[in-house]
């Protein structure tokens, strides 16, 4: 059982890191602010979500696991808002084509 | 090389890179971005050293709040910056580089010549901690053993607010600092400013209350409260107070004033300035910490808000 849980953690955290890697590559390679934001928000939301899901069974208790979950939800809320705000500023700054 | 050592070396290199970037960056905006990354990396370093209290402060004040103040300054300077193209003469730059290298070498020599094992008061602090009724040694040092430093630190905080306000133009004294975000009206920021503060308030008070036994304390808690208030102000859901408002002035000095009063009370009841009578130490410390948190939160937020600006007459 414990080996299965560890396997789940390893897979979920690795998948999360993959999303972060993709997000960073997108941030560096994409051409403008809006597409870069698109790449970045996937890393923040799904990547962190997968890492948190992977770490929750290792947290050593329901309360600690729920705290991890709360961290993820707070980052979701802040990330979504900041993404929208940056996008609005970027759209205003760039002339329409 | 063990994994932990590899990780520490990697973080160390990243810290140096971020530091070098924020010094070498051409415009103040890039330098600020480098500075904020540097602060967040330093947070990881402090965590690695198991100094959770310092890590919390570094993330909240060193990186977050200072970064915000610097970003505001960079935004104000942006218009003038493009015109500044003069570089100091080569001789001056060589002298500056030599002076910086000299300081670095002196610091390195000092650190390397420290006696080993390093003299430490940690043991004595932990041994004396039960007398304060606290469980977190860091907070014991801040609020009891070195209370004088903490008191002066709070006075400096109030003085820094006076310094920022002194930059206001004469007509600014009737006005308010301007904080409203340019996109305050389209709902996104407003949504966050309505959703997050209840959680933030709880977390800030928890950090202060819990600071007695675990990492945390009035300063870290107050930073969270200040951030929540700033969020509400930036979203336009509340108005920045006028700097001449009486309640504002009272709240700004409430922390140091209570601290000073409790300190003087200590002369009468415990025989020394800032001494606490042992059975009531924890209650008195909390009595000081609550108004102190109010003062810190208020002053930090107003430092970010900047000097008051004249009222616009349309």
Give this complex's ipTM.
0.82
Number of domains chain A contains: 1
One digit per residue, pLDDT tens: chain B, 314 residues? 688 899 999 999 999 999 999 988 888 889 999 999 999 999 999 999 988 888 988 988 888 889 988 988 888 888 777 666 677 888 999 999 999 999 999 999 998 888 888 778 888 888 888 877 787 888 888 887 888 888 898 999 999 999 999 988 888 888 888 887 777 777 888 889 999 999 999 999 998 888 877 887 888 899 999 999 999 998 888 888 888 889 999 999 999 999 889 888 888 887 788 888 877 788 888 888 899 999 999 999 999 888 888 877 65
Query: B195 vs A85: CB contact, 8 Å cut-off?
Result: no
Distance CA B124, CA B131 (A): 12
Other beta carbons within 10 angstroms of residue B108's beta carbon come to 10
Q: Which helix (H) or strand (E) holds B114?
A: none
- Flag whether B99 is in a domain: no
Residue B125: the pLDDT is 82
Same domain assignment for residues B285 and B174: yes
Residues 6+ away with beta carbon under 8 Å from B259 = B147, B150, B151, B154, B288, B292
- Judge if B145 and B71 occupy the same domain: no
Q: What is the pLDDT of residue B120?
A: 81
Confirm whether B240 is domain-assigned: yes
- Which of the listed residues B79, B97, B115 is the one where a domain comes to its end? B79
Q: Is the pLDDT of residue A1 over 70?
A: no
Q: Is residue B163 part of a domain?
A: yes
Smallest CA-to-CA distance from A31 within A39, A43, A42 is with A39
With H, G, I as helix, E, B as strand and everything else as coil, classify residue B176. Answer: strand
Interface test with B, best of A73, A79, A82, A84 (most B CBs within 10 A): A84
Q: Is B120 inside any structural domain?
A: no
Residues of B in contact with A77 (CB under 8 A): 192, 195-196
Same-domain check for residues B186 and B284: yes
**Contact flag B186-A78 (C-beta cutoff 8 Å):** no
Q: For residue B10, what pLDDT is reported?
A: 93
Contacts of B232 (CB under 8 A, 6+ apart): B193, B197, B238
For residue A47, pLDDT over 70 is answered with yes
Nearest CA in chain A to B182: A89
Of B62, B79, B96, the position where a domain reaches its end is B79
The residue of chain A with its CA nearest to that of B189 is A81
Structure tokens, A59: 């947290």
Return the pLDDT at B204. Answer: 92
> What pLDDT was estimated at residue B200?
93
Please report residues of B whose CB lies closer than 8 A to that of A78: 192, 196
Looking at residue B84, what DSSP letter applies?
Answer: -
Single out the residue in B36, B57, B79 at which a domain terminates. Answer: B79
Same domain, B41 and B163: no
Residue A2 is predicted with a pLDDT of: 85
The structural domain count of chain B equals: 2
Q: What's the farthest any 2 CA atoms get from each other in chain B?
A: 68
| Beta carbons of A74 and B199 less than 8 Å apart | yes
Q: Which domain holds residue A40?
A: 2-93
Residues of B with CB under 8 A from a CB of A: 181-183, 186, 188-189, 191-192, 195-196, 199
In a domain, B275, yes or no: yes
CA distance B126 to B123: 5
Report the length, in residues, of chain A. Answer: 97
Answer yes or no: is B114 within a domain.
Answer: no
Cβ–Cβ below 8 Å for B192 and A88 = no
Q: Which pLDDT value is given to residue B98?
A: 95
* Subunit contact A88:B189, Cβ cutoff 8 A: no
Of the candidates A74, A77, A85, which has its C-beta nearest B189's C-beta? A85
Q: What is the pTM of this model?
A: 0.84
Alpha carbons A86 and B3: distance in angstroms, whole number: 37
Please judge whether A81 and B183 are an interchain contact, meaning their C-beta atoms are less than 8 angstroms apart: no
User: How high is the pLDDT of residue B272?
Assistant: 81
What is the predicted pLDDT for the residue at B82? 66
Domain range enclosing B36: 1-79
């Amino acid at each position: 059982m414990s080996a299965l849980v560890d396997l789940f953690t390893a897979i979920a955290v690795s998948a999360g890191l993959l999303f972060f890697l993709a997000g960073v590559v997108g941030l560096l390679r994409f051409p403008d602010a809006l597409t870069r934001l698109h790449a970045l928000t996937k890393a923040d939301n799904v990547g962190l979500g997968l890492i948190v899901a992977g770490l929750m069974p290792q947290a050593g208790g329901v309360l600690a696991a729920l705290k991890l979950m709360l961290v993820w939800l707070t980052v979701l809320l802040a990330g979504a808002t900041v993404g929208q705000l940056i996008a609005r500023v970027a759209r205003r700054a760039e002339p329409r084509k | 090389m063990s994994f932990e050592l590899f990780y520490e070396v990697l973080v160390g290199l990243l810290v140096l890179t971020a530091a070098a970037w924020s010094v070498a960056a051409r415009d103040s905006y890039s330098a600020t971005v480098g500075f904020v990354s540097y602060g967040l990396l330093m947070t990881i370093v402090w965590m690695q050293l198991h100094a959770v209290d310092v890590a919390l402060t570094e993330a909240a004040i060193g990186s977050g709040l200072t970064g915000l103040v610097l970003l505001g300054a960079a935004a104000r300077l942006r218009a003038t910056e493009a015109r500044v193209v003069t570089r100091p003469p080569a001789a001056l730059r060589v002298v500056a580089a030599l002076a910086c290298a000299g300081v670095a070498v002196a610091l390195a020599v000092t650190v390397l010549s420290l006696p080993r094992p390093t003299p430490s008061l940690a043991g004595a602090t932990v041994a004396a901690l039960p007398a304060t009724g606290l469980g977190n040694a860091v907070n014991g040092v801040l609020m009891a053993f070195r209370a004088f430093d903490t008191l002066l630190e709070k006075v400096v905080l109030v003085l820094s607010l006076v310094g920022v306000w002194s930059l206001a133009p004469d007509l600014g004294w009737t006005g308010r600092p301007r904080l409203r975000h340019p996109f305050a009206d389209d709902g996104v920021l407003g949504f966050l400013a309505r959703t997050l503060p209840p959680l933030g308030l709880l977390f800030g008070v928890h950090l202060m209350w819990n600071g007695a036994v675990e990492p945390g304390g009035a300063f870290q808690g107050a930073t969270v409260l200040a951030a929540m208030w700033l969020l509400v102000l930036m979203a336009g859901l509340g108005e920045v107070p006028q700097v001449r408002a009486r309640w504002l002035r009272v709240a700004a000095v409430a922390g140091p004033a209570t601290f000073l009063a409790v300190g003087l009370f200590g002369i009468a009841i415990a025989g020394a300035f800032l001494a606490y009578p042992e059975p009531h130490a924890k209650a008195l410390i909390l009595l000081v910490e609550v108004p102190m948190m109010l003062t810190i939160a208020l002053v930090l937020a107003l430092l970010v808000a900047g000097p008051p600006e004249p009222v616009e007459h349309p």
